[in-house]
């Protein structure tokens, strides 16, 4: 009898920039994504993180914002109110992109840390499209992955505590696409790292 082989996973690094701590009262202003790699029963194969990417800037959904949160991204909220993509349009385009790049595999969102980005992404997907290409739990946190491999408490983990060979060569810029690409590289490094 042949072994049951699971469907491969396609890991997609996602980064968002927002103007507050939670979705609803506050807005996701930009969404960047990059294919990090694919995993099947034979192992993990990294992708070129710049080869398959997605980026949109979105129109805010409320008048509320937290100035320090907005300042992190450097995005102009007034410009986004006039020129940003309608959230429903942007999230439908994102879903279509995820479905295209993950053909034959199950898409998994990965982030560093994933909790913030996943909260906004999942809320926006459900609010504006009614579904998520990742399902309700297709999310992997890189910080947790590192903590498990390094045998460290989660709260002790920061990029500055990671070994040099794990860290990405790209800078963290707080531009959602730049950071999604940077984190895709980090993810592939973590997948290759044997741990301690």
Q: Which residues pair with 18 in a beta bridge?
A: 28
One of 136, 172, 174, 175 is an active-site residue; which one? 174
The helix (H) or strand (E) run that includes residue 141 is strand 139-141
**For this structure, is 174 an active site residue?**
yes
What pLDDT does 6 receive? 85
CA 22/CA 124 separation, integer angstroms: 11
Tens digit of each residue's pLDDT (9 = 90 or more) over 10-33: 999 999 999 999 999 999 999 999
CA 167/CA 161 separation, integer angstroms: 10
Q: Which of these, 98, 188, 172, 88, lies nearest to 135 by C-alpha position? A: 98
CA 191/CA 145 separation, integer angstroms: 9
Q: Does the global pTM surpass 0.85?
A: yes
Phi/psi at 11 (nearest 5 deg)?
Answer: -90, 125
Q: Which residues pair with 31 in a beta bridge?
A: 16, 56
pLDDT by residue for the chain (196 residues), tens only, comes to 445 568 999 999 999 999 999 999 999 999 999 999 999 999 999 999 999 999 999 999 999 999 999 999 899 999 999 999 999 999 999 999 999 999 999 999 999 999 999 999 999 999 999 999 999 999 999 999 999 999 999 999 999 999 999 999 998 999 999 999 999 999 999 999 999 9
Q: DSSP class of residue 169?
A: S
């Amino acid at each position: 009898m042949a072994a049951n082989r699971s469907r491969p996973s396609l890991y997609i690094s996602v980064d968002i920039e927002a103007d507050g701590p939670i979705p609803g009262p506050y807005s996701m202003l930009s969404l960047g994504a990059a294919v990090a790699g694919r995993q099947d029963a034979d192992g993990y194969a990294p992708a070129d993180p710049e080869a398959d990417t997605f980026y949109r800037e979105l129109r805010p959904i409320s008048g509320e914002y937290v100035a320090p949160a907005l300042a992190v991204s450097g995005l102009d909220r007034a410009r986004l109110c006039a020129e940003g993509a309608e959230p429903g349009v942007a999230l439908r385009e994102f879903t279509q992109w995820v479905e295209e790049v993950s053909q034959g595999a199950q898409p998994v969102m990965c982030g560093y840390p994933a909790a913030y980005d996943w909260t906004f992404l999942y809320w926006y997907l459900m609010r504006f499209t009614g579904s998520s290409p990742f399902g309700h739990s297709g999310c992997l946190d890189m910080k947790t992955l590192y903590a498990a491999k390094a045998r460290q408490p989660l709260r002790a983990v920061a990029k500055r505590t990671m070994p040099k060979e794990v860290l990405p060569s790209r800078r963290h810029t707080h531009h959602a696409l730049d950071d999604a690409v940077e984190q895709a590289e980090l993810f592939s490094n973590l997948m290759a790292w044997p741990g301690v």
